[in-house]
Amino acid sequence: MIKCLVNANPGQSNIDLVIFEKDLTLQKAMTGSTLFSLEKQTETKNIIKTLVYLITKAKDSFNVKSTLNENQILTLSVDLLEMYKYETIEDIVMMLKMARQGKIGSKLYYLDSTIILNEWMPEYLELKAREREESHAKNKSNDTELNDVQLKALDQYNEKKKAQGEEKQEEFQLMSNDSYGNWIKHLPETCKHLTLHELKVQIKRAKNTTDKKPFEIYTNEYENRINK
């Protein structure tokens, strides 16, 4: 997505973005690439350039007299990359889309960085956390014993992949499709990159959910740092 927005002309970028966000959902946003990982794969300026484009496009959707200028948009893009580096680029697109559609945020009289950073993004992340929790609960309720036909199909699949020498790669790909399982598996490692303030925010947010695993992981990381 970043390559498309960075390299395409403005008209083509607009079309690509509209098509991309049309089918984007909270569930899909959760399985995207984090800003942190993207920064390791490409130049930081490309990510910032993409965020500038996304914010500028969103800004033009709101008919308010007081809005963001070019310098403010640039600064906001850097702030988003710094404050929400463990969220995905799809999260940013989805957050701006939901704000435009009136699904998050209050009645808009003006637009500035505070509204996006401290109102829209936290509200969006609350919805995302709820979606992750509901998805996890649904997956648990759907866990049933495999019948004979499924077991046979699974055996055939594993034999085929074993012969091709690809079973480890495919196993990783299948695991990645489970957004919650993949997220919770890597959370102990990814939360090490959070600041103490960010950890406190995540602990407070996780405490209000029924899934206690994230709360325990964030709390353990926080206590380990304090003890050290």
pLDDT higher than 70, residue 173: no
Taking only Cα atoms into account, the Rg of the chain, rounded to an integer number of angstroms, comes to 20
Largest CA distance in the chain: 65
pLDDT higher than 80, residue 137: no
Query: How far is CA 132 from each of CA 31, 104, 192, rounded to the nearest angstrom?
Result: 11, 18, 21
Contacts of 177 (CB under 8 A, 6+ apart): 31
Reported in sequence order, the residue ranges of the chain that DSSP labels E, i.e. its strands, are none
Share of the chain above pLDDT 90, in %: 25
Ranking 154-168, 177-191, 208-222 by mean pLDDT, the lowest is 154-168
Torsion angles phi and psi, residue 110, rounded to 5 = -155, 165
At residue 13, the pLDDT reads: 63
At residue 174, the pLDDT reads: 39
- 8 Å CB contact between 99 and 139: no
pLDDT higher than 80, residue 224: yes
pLDDT higher than 90, residue 92: yes
Look up residue 75 and give its amino acid. T
At residue 28, the pLDDT reads: 84
pTM for the model: 0.58
Q: Quick one: pLDDT band at residue 167, thresholds 50, 70, 90?
A: very low
Query: How far is CA 128 from each of CA 74, 98, 148, 175, rounded to the nearest angstrom?
Result: 26, 12, 37, 20
